[in-house]
Amino acid sequence: MMRCWVRMGDGGEMELPTAVSWRFCYGTGTPCDSFFLRCLWERGQEELLGGACRFYAQWEGERVFTGVVDEFAVTCGAQGLYLELSGRGMAALLLDNEAMPAEYQRCGWADIEAGHVAPYGIPTAGGEGLPAVEGFTVASGESEWSVVRRYACYYGGVVPRFDREGRLVLGGHQDGQALRVREGGGVTGWEYREERHGVLSQVAVRRRTTWGTQWVSDPEFIAQGGCARRVITVPNTTGTAAMRYTAGYQLRAARSGRVRLRLTLAGAFLAWPGQLVQVELEGFGKNGIYRAAQSEVACGGGGISTTLTLGERDAMI
């Protein structure tokens, strides 16, 4: 059973009436998580909803969404009186707020958290192992999310994401038992796609005015005929190890969306982004273990379904 609440700007809470349809979308980047809810309604409480700023949802007693209310509408027609509510995950607070330009001589995760996350009341998990960065700069017009993601991905090799409790998570995925998907086990549709455009075969990182270039290649893509090189210029003070990491990051980031397997399954909340999924479809030439990049769970006229978008296990998801 789905139960939903909204929290008001003054701290009060309201439990919403019975939901007749809903949709929750989860991912690990941009666009951020989102929700849509349609529920029964009674006249007289519309003014209260004007102060609704946060949204929470539980499925069978487990929290499945924490987010920001973006819009509500009350509609009256032949089918009755309904409330429609929509919004995004907690990443919306970082996406919607522009960061103050800054130049850090030495910037660690504690600095990023204090200046770009904590002011919005967002709790965090992990991040202690991320490295300190010399000369980290926040550009004018950059969003708080861009600052956090650039620091975590580019320098720490970690893709920041939000969990169902609304926490910003900065750590690797904890791989447990993979969800096993077999033919006839609730699979109602699937699509497999590979995209070569944007995938890099080689990256060269060179210092601005001095000698020294680090090359990193993707031998698997090259063996498949891939030919797409990028040359990146970095400051003279950049060390050899940092240059090599920068090149490797660019390769992984470019490959992150190359493989996509989209599965539609009967049932609710079957897997979350980052979770491993073992695919065993009859006669399918790409069976194996994938990692979930996106998950969409919906309830409507067609029943309850979960649509998973899967990518390569070691991609930056």
Whole-number pLDDT of residue 270: 96
- Determine the Cα–Cα distance for residues 254 and 309; give it in Å rounded to an integer: 17
Band of pLDDT at residue 257, cut at 50, 70 and 90: confident
pLDDT digits (tens, 9 = 90+) for 194-210: 999 999 999 999 988 77
In angstroms, how far is CA 66 from the centroid of its own chain?
A: 14
Neighbours of 253 (CB within 10 A): 16
Whole-number pLDDT of residue 22: 97
Band of pLDDT at residue 211, cut at 50, 70 and 90: confident
Which range (52-66, 121-135, 225-239) has the least confidence? Answer: 225-239
- pTM for the predicted model, two decimal places: 0.90
Across the chain, what does the average pLDDT equal?
92
- Determine the Cα–Cα distance for residues 254 and 316; give it in Å rounded to an integer: 9
Whole-number pLDDT of residue 29: 75
pLDDT digits (tens, 9 = 90+) for 3-22: 999 999 999 999 999 999 99
DSSP string over the chain: -EEEEEEETTS-EEE---EEEEEEEE-SSSS--EEEEEEE--TT-HHHHTTEEEEEEEETTEEEEEEEEEEEEEEEETTEEEEEEEEEETHHHHHHSBPPPEEEEEE-HHHHHHHHTGGGT--EEE-TTSPPEEEEEE-TT-BHHHHHHIIIIIIH----EE-TTS-EEES-----SPEEEETTSSEEEEEEEE--TT--SEEEEEESSSS-EEEEE-HHHHHTT---EEEEEE-TT--HHHHHHHHHHHHHHHHTTSEEEEEEEESSS---TT-EEEEE-TT-TT-EEEEEEEEEEEEETTEEEEEEEEEETTS--
In angstroms, how far is CA 177 from the centroid of its own chain?
A: 21
Whole-number pLDDT of residue 183: 85
Q: Pick the closest to residue 312 from 251, 268, 265 (CA basis).
A: 251
Contact between 107 and 130 (Cβ < 8 Å) = no
Q: What mean pLDDT do residues 287-294 have?
A: 96
Residue found under tokens 């090799």? 157
Whole-number pLDDT of residue 243: 79
Q: What mean pLDDT do residues 175-191 have?
A: 90
